[in-house]
Amino acid sequence: GNSVTQMEGPVTLSEEAFLTINCTYTATGYPSLFWYVQYPGEGLQLLLKATKADDKGSNKGFEATYRKETTSFHLEKGSVQVSDSAVYFCALRAPERRQLTFGSGTQLTVLP
Amino acid sequence: DTEVTQTPKHLVMGMTNKKSLKCEQHMGHRAMYWYKQKAKKPPELMFVYSYEKLSINESVPSRFSPECPNSSLLNLHLHALQPEDSALYLCASSPRTESLEKLFFGSGTQLSVL
């Protein structure tokens, strides 16, 4: 079946530190991959996406590259801000499915 | 307008109450979704409507009853809920069920069942 595995949190960083949140997946075929962000008390917002191997999604300084050979889609940001504190979800959509499969989420806290 | 609007934002209800959650979008999307999210967990899909017809029911108990009166509105009717049903209920929409790359979420209704 399809599944997404994220690194366990919580992750606590100082402002301007480098961020990596690992995400690996299991799926048949070539899934589309997503990162969603959820700020406290809010719904999920699409942060970035990639639909084929070697694609790089980017938004607001965040980046993730679709790596077919390692079945990974790690989220990175060079310099985090306090306002990046949120829960981050990795997700996939398998080609034959009309649903998203979410990872368990990673809580990020950035300290000033 | 790229918003999915949910009301109310917070709801407290007893186990014998009947209440409804409402969701509205004006993006012309024809797929609408209900998700349930427990604290510190990912969202779990409950229902999918496609062109106002129920297309997916993820084995949700009958005390949750969805309704899609038109292409812009989605309701979730609640009756005889249990305390374990307390959660954040998220509505989402996309142009079609195939278009999950353009999925928009509302801010949710935080439900507490006493």
Question: How confident is the model over A1-23, as pLDDT tens digits?
Answer: 889 999 888 999 999 999 999 99
> Which chain B residue lies closest to A104 (C-alpha atoms)?
B42
Distance between CA atoms of residues A3 and A1, nearest Å: 7
Q: Which portions of chain B are predicted below pLDDT 70?
A: 1-2
pLDDT at A9 (0 to 100): 86
- Closest-CA residue to A105 (of A1, A10, A3): A10
pLDDT at B7 (0 to 100): 97
Distance between CA atoms of residues A14 and A80, nearest Å: 8
DSSP of A61-91: TEEEE-BTTTTB--EEESS--GGG-EEEEEE
Distance between CA atoms of residues B37 and B31, nearest Å: 19
pLDDT at A8 (0 to 100): 84
CA distance A103 to chain B (A): 7
Q: From the CB of residue B82, how many other CB atoms can be counted at a distance below 10 Å? A: 10
Q: Which portions of chain A are predicted below pLDDT 70?
A: none
| B98·A104 Cβ contact <8 A | no
Distance between CA atoms of residues B65 and B85, nearest Å: 14
Buried/exposed code over B37-63 (b: 16+ C-beta within 10 A; e: otherwise): beeeebbebbbbbbeeeeeeeeebeee
| Ramachandran area for residue A16 (φ above 0: left; ψ -120 to 50: alpha; else beta) | left
A107 residue type, one letter = Q
pLDDT at A98 (0 to 100): 82
pLDDT at B1 (0 to 100): 64
| A98·B40 Cβ contact <8 A | no
pLDDT at B2 (0 to 100): 66
pLDDT at B62 (0 to 100): 94
- List CB contacts (< 8 A) between B40 and chain A: 87, 105, 107
CA–centroid distance for A44 within its chain: 12
